[in-house]
Amino acid sequence: MKDILIITPPFTQLNTPYPASAYIKGFLNTKSISAFQIDLGIEVILELFSKEGLTQIFSSITHHPSPNIQRIYSLKDNYIKTIDVVIAFLQGKNPSLARQICSGNFLPEASRFAQLDDMEYAFGSMGLQDKAKHLATLYLEDLSDYIVECVDENFGFSRYAERLGRSANSFDELYEYLQKELTFIDEITLKILNKRIEEVQPKLICFSVPFPGNLYSAFRSAQFIKNNYTTIKIAMGGGFPNTELRELKDERVFEFFDFITLDDGELPLELLINHVFNSKPSEILGEAKRTFLLENNLVVYKNNATKSDYKQSEVGTPDYSDLLLDKYISVIEIANPMHSLWSDGRWNKLTMAHGCYWGKCTFCDISLDYIKLYEPIAAKILVDRMEELIAQTGENGFHFVDEAAPPALMREVALEIIKRKLVVTWWTNIRFEKSFTADLCLLLKESGCIAVSGGLEVASDRLLELIKKGVTVEQVAQVTRNFTESGIMVHAYLMYGYPTQTIQETVDSLEMVRQLFELGVIQSGFWHQFAMTAHSPVGMFPEEFGVIPEQNTITFANNDINFKDKTGINHDKFSFGLKKSLFNYMHGICFDYDLQDWFDFKIPKTKIPPDFIYNCLEKEQNFTTKPNAKIIWLGGNPQVEFFTKSKKGASWEMMKLTFHNKTQTFDISVNAEEGKWLVAILEQVSVHSDNKFTFAQIKADFEKQFDDFELFWFSKPIITLLKTQLLIL
């Protein structure tokens, strides 16, 4: 038995838990409040995609099916026979099944497998396990098509009934849907939910609802609890209410939930727990933080608590206990190297900093606390939490889910990881800013960073300035080159249809993207069409950006806003061509195609020179070193050998230093006395040392014994070290 039950409703991810419930449970641990958490999504998926589940969905077809659905139904025995072993394989068990899957004639195949011919070149070099995962994913997607047509039109692996929650300004449609009979998915969900409630016996159930695709199931589950467990109180928090329910007015929502909280959930939940556990059932909530509730049949927003929100250092380490970590399934849906990180493998999720250190982008919800309030965590605390999670979960992969990870904190975290000799794999979201020098990227790679994603958005300097992105295309090219050359994969978020964007700018942006991929400085990308949100500068001040919003009465959700761009351009028509060209560029082909070839309507010629990105990368770097720059040595101690050098009758002692890194051996030769100083200083600036030396301190130390530090520092031997393991940060 536990006092609190925290639930993530269906559906979010197949491969890893959404972290919100683990964050909240970690906080409750610091308050000695007992809690149990469940990811209803993965539990429903595992019941649905099992022999018993498929037997039920294949029981009959009550309509005239499409040829594809008829084929799947005809092969039902093959699906029922293979489903359990395929799911086990995707859970990381029985890896030998990969050979049978790849050999053909094992999995039943329907329409999703028609993609294989198109994808053969993309997966040609793929490993056996990954190719089998992709084939198994297509097999599940065929079954998903069957479920959508024959069982439940709202089904989706990472969302459920999403259209009912996506910016539903009125609660009417969702409320009406909740009065209908339970769907097959509902019945599975509520059966599992009931079992968990009986086991846990909670006093308060908290639904964490991150996305519109979780909303319907949250309401359906809350409805079940209200009908069957009248003494249990129910709260909702998470990403969806934080962004969409800030203007909630419809009292019918509180037929399902007692409380809805906004923004950081720790303090609001603590106050709710105090109320639920220590008050009479009829007593009105007194002190609250950012909480909606019903009082006297009116929706009330209470934010009268005087206590401040908890600092990030006080909220504890996320706790993934209770979750079925060995049951999640890794899928490979599409041949996009970055997207595979989201869907393949299990990641411990952490945040380096609350909010965004930049906080200026005009398309972003920068007025909301989750972005507006920036608060980084000390690197030592963060790496402590990483070690705790490794011990708890047995997983050393981390996804830092920041809006944009701060470069200075990334540097300190990387140094701490290396110093503790941890072996971890991690990736995160960044801004492509000039702080990401070649040396910083090498340090991040050494600490286990494998990938970064960042917003290039519209590859146009005029629009980047309008967006207030704080970067230029030239800067993006140089930074992505630094990441790529260090061995870190780069994914770019790309945008089209930004207010006032012209057709010429869309075409020129595509040309920039083509060149970035052709030169290999970006490996992955995704185009999305601009969407106006209520809490972004564009949404709050539309007239400044040349857009005309649709004005609707808001009683329920409010985030995405329909609008008209005063330019009158139909940006929708660019979608297919932009995405098709990008798909090919990601696989290293079709760079010689004319941009016109991607579109079935006339577009203008690009005005971007064909060597624009190349010239950006060729620009000379600024080699001046700041006096306060940290000097870090990533290598070990060199082997030392003395020898004598003679010239024109004179001789002097030299030192040969031999260095070994993970991939090569190299040596340098320097004057013996300077060599002794160098060996000593490398030991002091080692990444494993507690000392932190700046460039100015090293220069001063050198000049105590020798003359002309610059002549030594920029000599060929030291340049050799600077190109390998001697970093200036």
Label each residue of 251-278 as H, E or C: HHHHHCCCEEECCCCHHHHHHHHHHHHH
pLDDT digits (tens, 9 = 90+) for 103-159: 889 999 999 988 765 555 555 556 788 889 989 999 999 999 999 999 999 999 888
Does the structure show a pLDDT above 60 at 448? yes
pLDDT at 166: 74
Query: For the residues 57-68, what does the mean pLDDT come to?
Result: 85
Q: By three-state DSSP, how is residue 658 classified? A: strand
Domains and CATH numbers, the chain: 4-313 (no CATH), 346-499+522-569 (3.20.20.70), 630-728 (no CATH)
pLDDT at 60: 75
Among candidate residues 94, 95, 113, the one with its CA nearest the CA of residue 104: 113
Residues 6+ apart with CB under 8 A from 250: 170, 171, 299, 555, 556
pLDDT at 334: 66
Confidence of residue 285 (pLDDT cuts 50, 70, 90): confident
Q: How many CA atoms lie within 13 A of 386 on its CB side?
A: 29
**In the block, which residue shows the tokens 């056996």?**
128
Q: How many CA atoms lie within 13 A of 204 on its CB side?
A: 23
Does the structure show a pLDDT above 90 at 364? yes
pLDDT at 167: 66
Does the structure show a pLDDT above 80 at 333? no
Confidence of residue 585 (pLDDT cuts 50, 70, 90): very high
715 vs 334, residue with greater confidence: 715
Both tokens of 620, joined, read 């000379």
Count of Cβ atoms closer than 10 Å to residue 705 Cβ: 10
Among candidate residues 433, 471, 431, 478, the one with its CA nearest the CA of residue 452: 431
pLDDT digits (tens, 9 = 90+) for 480-516: 999 999 999 999 999 999 999 999 999 999 999 999 9
**In the block, which residue shows the tokens 């949250």?**
218
pLDDT at 459: 86
Query: For the residues 169-191, what does the mean pLDDT come to?
Result: 96
Query: For the residues 315-324, what does the mean pLDDT come to?
Result: 96
Dist CA 414 CA 528 (whole Å): 32
Quote the DSSP letter at residue 123: H
The answer to whether residues 2 and 24 touch, using CB atoms and an 8 Å cutoff, is no
pLDDT at 669: 93
> Which phi-psi region, left, alpha or beta, contains residue 274 (left: φ > 0; alpha: ψ -120 to 50)?
alpha
Among candidate residues 400, 405, 411, 429, the one with its CA nearest the CA of residue 492: 429
pLDDT digits (tens, 9 = 90+) for 230-279: 999 999 999 999 999 999 999 999 999 999 999 999 999 999 999 999 88
Does the structure show a pLDDT above 90 at 165? no
| Burial class of residue 613, CB neighbours in 10 A (0-12, 13-18, 19+) | buried
pLDDT at 299: 96
Confidence of residue 164 (pLDDT cuts 50, 70, 90): confident
pLDDT at 477: 95
Dist CA 4 CA 564 (whole Å): 46
pLDDT digits (tens, 9 = 90+) for 189-216: 999 999 999 999 999 999 999 999 999 9
pLDDT at 622: 64
DSSP codes joined into one string, 381-437:
HHHHHHHHHHHHHS--EEEE--SS--HHHHHHHHHHHHHTT---EEEEEE---TT--
pLDDT at 690: 84
- Give backbone dihedrals phi and psi of 444, rounded to 5 degrees, phi first: -60, -40
pLDDT digits (tens, 9 = 90+) for 622-657: 667 889 999 999 999 999 999 998 888 788 999 999
Residues 6+ apart with CB under 8 A from 706: 673, 674, 677, 712
pLDDT at 120: 54
Query: For the residues 393-408, what does the mean pLDDT come to?
Result: 94
Q: What is the mean pLDDT of the chain?
A: 92
Does the structure show a pLDDT above 90 at 61? no
Quote the DSSP letter at residue 285: P
Query: For the residues 77-84, what does the mean pLDDT come to?
Result: 97
The answer to whether residues 254 and 299 touch, using CB atoms and an 8 Å cutoff, is yes
Among candidate residues 258, 266, 271, 216, the one with its CA nearest the CA of residue 238: 266
Among candidate residues 331, 344, 336, 347, the one with its CA nearest the CA of residue 133: 331
Dist CA 210 CA 403 (whole Å): 15
- Give backbone dihedrals phi and psi of 21, rounded to 5 degrees, phi first: -65, -35
Dist CA 392 CA 384 (whole Å): 12
Query: For the residues 363-386, what does the mean pLDDT come to?
Result: 93
**In the block, which residue shows the tokens 């509730």?**
293
Beta strands 665-671 and 726-728, pairing class: unpaired
Dist CA 304 CA 381 (whole Å): 31
pLDDT at 336: 67
Confidence of residue 550 (pLDDT cuts 50, 70, 90): confident
Query: What is the SS3 assignment for 495-545?
Result: EECCCCCCHHHHHHHHHHHHHHHHCCCCCEEEEEECCEECCCHHHHCHHHH
Query: For the residues 55-67, what does the mean pLDDT come to?
Result: 86
Confidence of residue 337 (pLDDT cuts 50, 70, 90): low
If residue 196 lies in a helix (H) or strand (E), which one and from where to where?
Answer: helix 184-200
Query: For the residues 425-446, what does the mean pLDDT come to?
Result: 95
Does the structure show a pLDDT above 90 at 322? yes
Q: Please, what's the largest Cα pairwise distance for the chain? A: 103
Question: Above pLDDT 90, what percent of the chain?
Answer: 79
Among candidate residues 576, 456, 574, the one with its CA nearest the CA of residue 516: 456
Dist CA 258 CA 11 (whole Å): 23
DSSP codes joined into one string, 440-457:
HHHHHHHTTEEEEEEEEE
pLDDT at 551: 83
